[in-house]
Amino acid sequence: MDVTFFAGNRAKLKELEPTALIVVAGNDEVQRRADAAFAFVQEANFYYLTGVNEPGWKLVLTPDEEFLIGPERSDAQTLFDGSLAHEEVTRTSGVTTVVSLKEGEARLKELASVHKKVLTILEHPYQSHFGFAPNPGPYANIRKLKKMFEELGDVRTTVTRMRAIKQPEELAMIRRAIHASIAGFSRVRAELVGYDNERKIEATLWYEFLQMADGHAYDPIVASGANACTLHYTANAAKLEDGSLVLIDAGAQVGEYAADITRTYAYGASTDRQKAVHAAVETAHQKIIALLRPGLEIKTYSDQVDEILKGALKSVGLYEKPSDYRRYFPHAISHGLGIDVHDSLGGFKEFQPGMVLTVEPGIYIPEEGIGVRIEDDILITEDSHENLSAALPTLL
- Which spans of this chain sit near ligand GLY (rule: CB under 6 A)? 218, 249, 260, 335, 341, 360, 375
Classify the C-alpha dihedral 69-72-73-74 as positive or negative: positive
Complex with ligand GLY: residue 238 or 261, whichever CB lies closer: 261
Partner from ligand GLY, Mn ion, none contacting 244, C-beta within 5 to 8 A by type: none
Partner from Mn ion, ligand GLY, none contacting 198, C-beta within 5 to 8 A by type: none
CB of 233 to ligand GLY, least distance (A): 11
CB of 191 to Mn ion, least distance (A): 21
Complex with Mn ion: residue 28 or 343, whichever CB lies closer: 343
Complex with ligand GLY: residue 208 or 249, whichever CB lies closer: 249
CB neighbour class for 59 (10 Å; exposed up to 12, middle 13-18, buried from 19): buried
Strands 98-99 and 66-69 turn out to be: parallel
Please select the residue that binds Mn ion; options are 260, 340, 343, 376, rule is CB under 5 A: 260
CB of 111 to ligand GLY, least distance (A): 39
Complex with Mn ion: residue 129 or 321, whichever CB lies closer: 129
CB of 375 to ligand GLY, least distance (A): 6
The answer to whether 17 and 155 are in contact (CB under 8 A) is: yes
What letters, b where the CB count within 10 A reaches 16 and e where it falls short, cover 117-151? ebbbbeeeeeeeeeeeeebbbbbebbebbeebbee
Q: Is 358 in the site for Mn ion (CB under 5 A)?
A: yes
Partner from Mn ion, ligand GLY, none contacting 218, C-beta within 5 to 8 A by type: ligand GLY
Partner from Mn ion, ligand GLY, none contacting 340, C-beta within 5 to 8 A by type: none
Complex with ligand GLY: residue 341 or 356, whichever CB lies closer: 341
Please select the residue that binds Mn ion; options are 28, 54, 249, 376, rule is CB under 5 A: 249
Complex with Mn ion: residue 20 or 337, whichever CB lies closer: 337
Complex with ligand GLY: residue 59 or 246, whichever CB lies closer: 246
Partner from ligand GLY, Mn ion, none contacting 9, C-beta within 5 to 8 A by type: none
What is the Cα Rg of the chain in Å?
23
Q: Is 29 in the site for Mn ion (CB under 5 A)?
A: no
CB of 317 to ligand GLY, least distance (A): 26
Nearest-CB residue for ligand GLY: 249
CB of 268 to ligand GLY, least distance (A): 26
CB of 52 to Mn ion, least distance (A): 27
Contact positions toward Mn ion, by CB under 5 A?
249, 260, 358, 375
